Amino acid sequence: MRPLIGIPCHAGVGAESDRPIFYNNIAYIRAVEAAGGVPILIPILDDLAGLQTLLPRLDGLLLSGGIDLHPRHYNEEPHPMLGKTNPQLDDLELELVRWVVRENLPTIGICRGMQMLNVALGGSLYQDLEAQYPQSLKHPNWELPRNQIVHRINVQEESRMAAILGKYDLGVNSLHHQAVKEPGSGVIISGRAEDGVAELLEIPDHRFMLAAQCHPEEIWNDEPAWKNLFGAFIEECSQPVVKQLHAMDTVLEVSARTA
């Protein structure tokens, strides 16, 4: 049976109906489906206790891109260049990360999803690269097509990402203005842009917890390395769950108390 992959929704307003909606980009759905998974969107619930009905049915989790995380989750005040935030979305995704850590569920993070994993494990972010990392490349290229390659990243040899991607150097699209600053507990930065900005992340203590700052869901059809990432994720999601409790649980409990 094909594995069931949860993808959290975002909140917005329908362009035609002008009514509140939950949604996410079709590109995530297609990437998971093409790799052999069955995607299911997770709404932003008012009562997160409702997740206890859904989460045991999931075989994997994909944390997608989206709006900024609120910096209170890493004990900082908002920077003037901080973008839009959503406390309910933050709470939902933090709860999802706590779940996948406890249950040792395969997880992949993309853009905001990479940042969320890092923050949930006690790390911090640059709230705006241009303001706080002035030597950086131009990473927020929102005016360009989402599949346009704009810079290259170096992948750390001997990392799990290198083994999956099959490359140590590859091109990426770039659609973000925030990035990992201090890595969280157990977090390894396994790929960086030419300016040193973190582009790939992995947690070796976890069964499968990998993340990319770029948007591989937009370029996997053109770059086989990213197709490999989705394929490896779905393959792991198809395997029996092996629970694994470790020190990350403590980090997540601390993050929950300080949020």
- Which among 195, 143, 201, 202 is positioned nearest to 173, based on CA atoms? 143
**How far is the C-alpha of 165 from the C-alpha of 167, rounded, in Å?**
5
Coil, strand or helix at 216: helix
235 is catalytic: no
Catalytic one of 9, 73, 111, 151: 111
237 is catalytic: no
The answer to whether 232 and 164 are in contact (CB under 8 A) is yes
- Which among 113, 59, 62 is positioned nearest to 90, based on CA atoms? 113
The answer to whether 100 and 61 are in contact (CB under 8 A) is yes
Catalytic one of 73, 215, 223, 237: 215
**How far is the C-alpha of 173 from the C-alpha of 192, rounded, in Å?**
13
Name the token pair of 249: 């649980």
246 is catalytic: no
* 87, HSE (Cβ side, Cα atoms, 13 Å): 3
Catalytic one of 199, 217, 223, 236: 217
Catalytic residue IDs: 111, 215, 217
